[in-house]
Amino acid sequence: MTGIIFDLADFSTADGPGIRTVIFFKGCPLSCRWCSNPESQHFHPEPLYHSERCLRCQKCLDACPLEAIRVREDLLIDRTRCRDCTSHPCIEACPNDALKLAGRVWSSEEVMAKILPQRLFYQNSGGGITFSGGEPMAQPHFAFALAAQIKDAGLHLGLETCGWFTSELDFDRFQLFDFIYFDLKHFTSDLHQTCTGDGNEPIIRNLRSLCQSTGPKRITLCLPLIPGVNDQEPFFHWIIGLAKELGITQSRIIPYHEFGRTKYAALGRNYPCDSLRELTDYQITTFATLLRTAGISCEIVGRDHA
Ligand code: SF4
Ligand code: SF4
């Protein structure tokens, strides 16, 4: 069984308990404006260009069979010409890692060979493996097959999902995951569509189905907190109502940050959140307090002091 992955990140402490390896699946049905992993959105491998490493040697220009690379002020990959060739001669030709590939096909055996030697780190820290992305459930056959192998190996396993996946999945198979971080971004479907590319109906429907099949205890609601989008009390009152209805008692707030900015440049895309400013600790804590007062635990990710 194979799938496309764009990164395997070891020693993460932000994607579940303990020390974890995060497996980033490539491809996502949504395209959130604030996405900090824009290289995760397309389902195919694609070249990233890191200008600061470029020697201007032009070896990649000569290597590209489609003349998709030009030089203006900087190197420019014409993404309308680039066919993301499987052999990536441009990347092979680059002597300084200025061109890198985002995504490649992995077999589940390859992934297991990478993670199993770290079993002791996971066990000693109470950690394990987390599927992230992109959207892991956009590659459901690969994701469930790999999840079964990881559980057979006795490892702790988590899933981070945007919640947008087909309702035809066998929801009982989500019991392979010890925890599920489930994103909710807005209660108004229109605004959800404007900001993420699709409405929220399939997401809410899937959350209800998941709660029925796995029970609510496995599920933590993940709330990206985006200035001007959902940093308002009505969003949190909606979250509290939904959590109480479904019996979910855990949440995480992920405040907007700019970590993805350089990746947009590497993909030759404009950063879509130029006008956004990060929220203050006070603003974030106010929303966390709303949740906690309603009996929903709330972890603030990436702001230890908030
Ligand atoms: S991936 Fe292929 S087509 Fe695209 S820039 Fe590189 S060599 Fe050219
Ligand atoms: S081969 Fe690499 S270092 Fe040379 S111009 Fe291309 S990207 Fe820059």
Average predicted confidence (pLDDT) for the chain: 94
68 in ligand 1 pocket by Cβ < 6 Å?
yes
Mean pLDDT of 152-170: 97
64 in ligand 1 pocket by Cβ < 6 Å?
yes
* Domains annotated on the chain, with CATH: 2-42+104-300 (3.20.20.70), 46-101 (3.30.70.20)
pLDDT at 261: 87
Q: Which residue has the higher pLDDT, 290 or 87?
A: 290
How remote is the CA of residue 240 from the centroid of ligand 2, in Å?
51
Does the structure show a pLDDT above 90 at 175?
yes
Band (pLDDT 50/70/90 cuts) for residue 260 is confident
64-91 burial, b at 16+ Cβ within 10 Å, e below that, comes to: beeebbeeeeebebeeeebeeeeebebb
Mean pLDDT of 235-253: 98
Cα–Cα distance measured from residue 83 to residue 1, given in angstroms and rounded to the nearest whole number: 25
Nearest Cα neighbor of 103 from 215, 267, 226 is: 267
232 in ligand 2 pocket by Cβ < 6 Å?
no
pLDDT at 304: 61
Ligand 1 atom closest to the CA of 99, numbered from 1: 6
Cα–Cα distance measured from residue 166 to residue 173, given in angstroms and rounded to the nearest whole number: 14
44 in ligand 1 pocket by Cβ < 6 Å?
no
